[in-house]
């Protein structure tokens, strides 16, 4: 492992988008800096993982934990549905990259935090599906009030769940999503709900720390405890690897 045991290495998946800065108008690997800052403040070393064709094994071998970040809609072909008119801007290349990263991270029992789209990636990768346009289900835009404006919702977390052990069983969170989890992957447990019944948190009980939340804890108005818990779990990954004196990417799951 690359980690020194005191500052675990946390991978953050990124966008790949056309953007402008200064005199340049070109393709960039992008991620809102709030994610980077949240990991750094929690004691982790953030490393960006832009979507590329190869390198999953090498990337995951260098990590102590993984954040699958928010972003564009997942291509509905990934869960065998035709696209809804409101499903736009899909990035199949990013979908594939993140699902391969997730598969390898789960093989290694790395701590994983999925944020918004990241929770959806977790569900789809393990065999679940999505509501492609949540207002069709709940009848309002509470979860995404208007472009670039975060909503605030109350979430209820299942007592005894990983999410509740970190956050307690009730609270308000910032959200921005027009899609949500529909059919839940068989391996996942639902551990959080909005007042309207929308699934807001899922976790993988067979692993040490795998949690997907539909809200945005990286926001300034969010809660740092999820990132702190991820980094604490990642520190145990780093310590375990150093104690064994081996690269645990070669160990059996």
Contact yes or no for 215/198 (Cβ under 8 A): no
The residues that are catalytic are 116, 216, 218
pLDDT for 3 equals 43
Packing angle, helices 225-244 and 33-41, rounded to 10: 60
Q: Tell me, yes or no, whether 3 lies in a domain.
A: no
Q: Which residue, 209, 225, 121, is CA-closest to 162?
A: 209
Which DSSP state fits 76? G
Which DSSP state fits 184? P
pLDDT for 90 equals 96
User: In degrees, to the nearest 5, what angle opens at C-alpha 53 toward C-alphas 238 and 108?
Assistant: 25
Domain that holds residue 143: 9-250
pLDDT for 245 equals 60
Q: Tell me, yes or no, whether 142 lies in a domain.
A: yes
Total domains in the chain come to 1
Q: Which residue, 65, 32, 51, 59, is CA-closest to 95?
A: 51
Q: Tell me, yes or no, whether 93 lies in a domain.
A: yes
pLDDT for 244 equals 60
Which SS3 state, helix, strand or coil, does residue 61 take? helix
Positions of the chain with pLDDT under 50: 1-4, 246, 249-253
Q: Tell me, yes or no, whether 1 lies in a domain.
A: no
Which SS3 state, helix, strand or coil, does residue 62 take? coil
Q: Tell me, yes or no, whether 219 lies in a domain.
A: yes
Q: Tell me, yes or no, whether 2 lies in a domain.
A: no
**CATH code for position 13:** 3.40.50.880
- E strand or H helix at 38: helix 33-41
In angstroms, the CA 60 to CA 66 distance is 8
């Amino acid at each position: 492992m690359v980690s020194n045991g005191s500052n675990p290495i946390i991978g953050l998946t990124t966008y790949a988008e056309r953007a402008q800065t200064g005199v340049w108008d070109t393709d960039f690997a992008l991620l809102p800096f709030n994610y980077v800052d949240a990991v750094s403040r929690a004691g982790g070393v953030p490393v960006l993982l832009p979507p590329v064709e190869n390198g999953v094994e090498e990337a995951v071998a260098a990590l102590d934990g993984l954040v699958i970040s928010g972003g564009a809609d997942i291509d509905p072909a990934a869960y065998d549905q035709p696209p809804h008119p409101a499903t736009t801007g899909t990035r199949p290349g990013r979908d594939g990259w993140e699902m391969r990263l997730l598969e390898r991270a789960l093989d290694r029992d790395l701590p994983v935090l999925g944020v918004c789209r990241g929770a959806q990636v977790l569900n789809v990768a393990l065999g679940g599906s999505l509501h492609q346009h949540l207002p069709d289900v709940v009848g309002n835009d509470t979860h995404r009030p208007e472009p670039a404006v975060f909503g605030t919702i109350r979430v209820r977390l299942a007592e005894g769940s990983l999410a509740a052990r970190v956050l307690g069983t009730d609270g308000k969170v910032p959200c921005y999503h027009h899609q949500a989890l529909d059919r839940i992957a068989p391996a996942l447990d639902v551990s959080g709900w909005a007042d309207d019944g929308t699934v807001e948190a899922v976790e993988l009980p067979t692993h040490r720390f795998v949690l997907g939340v539909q809200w945005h804890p990286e926001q300034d108005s969010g809660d740092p405890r999820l990132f702190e818990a991820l980094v604490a779990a990642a520190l145990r990954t780093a310590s375990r690897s150093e104690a064994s004196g081996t690269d645990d990417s070669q160990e059996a799951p």
